[in-house]
């Protein structure tokens, strides 16, 4: 197995739980993180070795290292010949690896369809050549893939089974020493170094502006443990560190506790939707990455909640729009709605609840069933 970042590690850990329940003697090795390790996974390399951001200078700088890891992993797997390779997301790394393994007769499964419905539709041929089966986390994906000759099945989104339909906000607030009456904003500037470098200062400066408008507002910042030192440093640089409660991990606790979240586009936005939280989605990347992404974008939305709802149910502020002033203004709209237009928030929560029901399946069992069929072919 290969998972390339924190969200992939979480998904892979949930999948491993299901695989081990069926095959207790399972051996799982490759690239992964702490959630996978909890289920007995042996990481030959840690997942953060693959974590880069867009078409950035960081990617160019680390290209040789990442290519070297993939080449070493390919040779090691070809020598050991596992029964199955599962690539978890990280398509830029995994699809080429899967193609090389499949060409040598090793069965391959890709967990989480690449977003060919959002951008880069030319990937269809690569997916077809790389994988024996795709485990899809969104219900509309299998038909699209099968239309292009790719075997696929909808297994639900694992997070929809992990996150409760009715999150306990009061318990989360008690755990974070917050009062029920507090206005609480969760700031989630990303899970990768490069994302944090682009977004954290913008988020922290937006927090300063929100605080000027609503002085009693509380801010919580769940930071990936390995990157907390960077978040701490940027908080000090922003001049607002004293008003930010920076947590080590605990993103789900922060989302359960907050009234609204200012959040980087990515898997975390779906988590926020499953927690039924109003949000402001933001993203910023290097100029070259932005130009390339814009030209290949197929839909008007970038955030997963908007894509799945097929509407701008929450605001998106991307690239030059993602200024502290604009971010603060949109967060304040949600805080004002909490006090003066609660029906607006209730309407959003009902939409997210319907989405939650749609995504909630027994993912571990469905994925394991699909994998068993691949192994039996």
What is the number of other CB atoms lying within 10 angstroms of the CB of residue 226? 17
According to CATH, where is 3.40.50.2000 located in the chain?
Answer: 2-156+361-376, 169-358
Which of 347, 50, 311, 18 shows the shortest CA–CA distance to 161? 18
Burial of 123 (0-12, 13-18, 19+ CB in 10 A): middle
Which of 123, 74, 76 shows the shortest CA–CA distance to 103? 74
Contact 9, 49 (CB under 8 A): no
Mean pLDDT value of segment 155-179: 94
* pLDDT computed for residue 226 by the predictor: 87
* pLDDT computed for residue 292 by the predictor: 62
Measured CA to CA in angstroms, residue 150 lies from 47, 90, 98, 125 at distances of 27, 18, 14, 9
The tokens of 219 are what? Answer: 């801010």
Mean pLDDT value of segment 218-226: 94
89: left (phi over 0), alpha (psi -120 to 50) or beta: left
* pLDDT computed for residue 291 by the predictor: 59
Q: Return the SS3 of 53.
A: coil
Task: Please give the backbone phi and psi of residue 354, each rounded to the nearest 5 degrees, phi first.
Answer: -60, -40
Contact 298, 282 (CB under 8 A): no
Which of 65, 38, 37 shows the shortest CA–CA distance to 51? 65
Q: Which of 68-82, 109-123, 224-238, 281-295 has the lowest mean pLDDT?
A: 281-295
Which of 20, 298, 308, 5 shows the shortest CA–CA distance to 137? 308
Which CATH superfamily does the domain covering 2-156+361-376 fall into? Glycogen Phosphorylase B; (3.40.50.2000)
The tokens of 366 are what? Answer: 């469905």
CA distance 177 to 241: 18
Q: What confidence tens digit (pLDDT) does each residue in 121-135 have?
A: 778 999 999 999 999
For 56-128, list the strands marked E by DSSP.
Answer: 85-88, 108-111
* pLDDT computed for residue 56 by the predictor: 47
Indicate whether 120 pLDDT > 80: no
Task: Please give the backbone phi and psi of residue 353, each rounded to the nearest 5 degrees, phi first.
Answer: -65, -40
* pLDDT computed for residue 288 by the predictor: 64
The tokens of 280 are what? Answer: 């402001």
Q: Which residues pair with 152 in a beta bridge?
A: 134
DSSP 227: G
* pLDDT computed for residue 29 by the predictor: 97
Mean pLDDT value of segment 24-30: 96
Question: Mean pLDDT highest for which of 100-104, 194-198, 281-285?
Answer: 100-104
CA 296 to chain centre: 20
Which class is domain 169-358?
alpha beta
Q: What confidence tens digit (pLDDT) does each residue in 233-270 have?
A: 999 999 999 999 999 999 999 999 999 999 999 889 99
* pLDDT computed for residue 293 by the predictor: 65
Q: Round the CA-based radius of gyration of the chain to a whole number and report it.
A: 21
What is the number of other CB atoms lying within 10 angstroms of the CB of residue 61? 10
DSSP 14: H
Measured CA to CA in angstroms, residue 185 lies from 119, 258, 316 at distances of 31, 5, 17
- DSSP secondary structure string for all residues of 156-224: --HHHHHS-SS--HHHHHHHTT--TT--EEEEE--SSHHHHHHHHHHHHHHHHHHHHHSTT-EEEEEE-
Tell me which residue has tokens 């027994």: 362
Mean pLDDT value of segment 130-146: 94
Task: Please give the backbone phi and psi of residue 152, each rounded to the nearest 5 degrees, phi first.
Answer: -155, 160
Higher model confidence: residue 84 or residue 61? 84
* pLDDT computed for residue 289 by the predictor: 63
Mean pLDDT value of segment 289-317: 79
The tokens of 177 are what? Answer: 């020493």
């Amino acid at each position: 197995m290969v998972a390339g970042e924190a969200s992939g590690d979480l998904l892979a850990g949930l999948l491993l739980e299901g695989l081990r329940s069926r095959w207790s003697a399972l051996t799982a090795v490759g690239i992964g993180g702490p959630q996978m390790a909890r289920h007995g996974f042996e990481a030959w390399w840690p997942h953060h070795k693959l974590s880069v951001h867009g078409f950035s200078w960081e990617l160019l700088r680390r290209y040789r290292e990442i290519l070297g890891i993939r080449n070493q992993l390919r040779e090691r797997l070809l020598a050991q010949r596992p029964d199955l390779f599962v690539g978890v997301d990280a398509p830029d790394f995994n699809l080429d690896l899967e193609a090389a393994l499949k060409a040598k007769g090793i069965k391959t499964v890709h967990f989480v369809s690449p977003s060919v419905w959002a951008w880069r539709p030319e990937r269809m041929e690569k997916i077809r050549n790389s994988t024996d089966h795709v485990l899809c986390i969104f219900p509309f994906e299998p038909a699209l893939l099968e239309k292009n000759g790719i075997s696929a099945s909808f297994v639900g989104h694992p997070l929809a089974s992990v996150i409760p339909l009715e999150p306990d906000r009061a318990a989360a607030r008690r755990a974070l020493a917050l009062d029920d009456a507090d206005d609480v904003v969760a700031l989630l500037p990303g899970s990768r170094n490069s994302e944090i470098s682009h977004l954290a200062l913008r988020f922290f400066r937006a927090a300063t502006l929100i605080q000027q408008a609503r002085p009693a507002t509380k801010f919580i910042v769940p930071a990936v443990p390995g990157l907390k030192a960077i978040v701490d440093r940027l908080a000090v640089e922003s001049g607002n560190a004293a008003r930010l409660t920076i947590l080590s991990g605990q993103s789900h606790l922060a989302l359960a506790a907050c009234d609204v979240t200012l959040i980087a586009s990515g898997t975390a936005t779906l988590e926020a939707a499953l927690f039924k939280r109003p949000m402001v989605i933001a993203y910023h990347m290097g100029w070259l990455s932005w130009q390339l992404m814009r030209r290949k974008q197929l839909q008007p939305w970038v955030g997963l909640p908007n894509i799945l709802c097929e509407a701008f149910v929450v605001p998106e502020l991307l690239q030059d729009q993602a200024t502290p002033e604009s971010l603060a203004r949109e967060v304040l709209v949600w805080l004002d709605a909490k006090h003066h237009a609660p029906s607006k928030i209730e309407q959003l929560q009902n939409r997210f609840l319907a989405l939650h029901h749609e995504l909630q399946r027994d993912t571990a069992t469905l994925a394991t069933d699909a994998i068993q069929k691949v192994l039996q072919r």
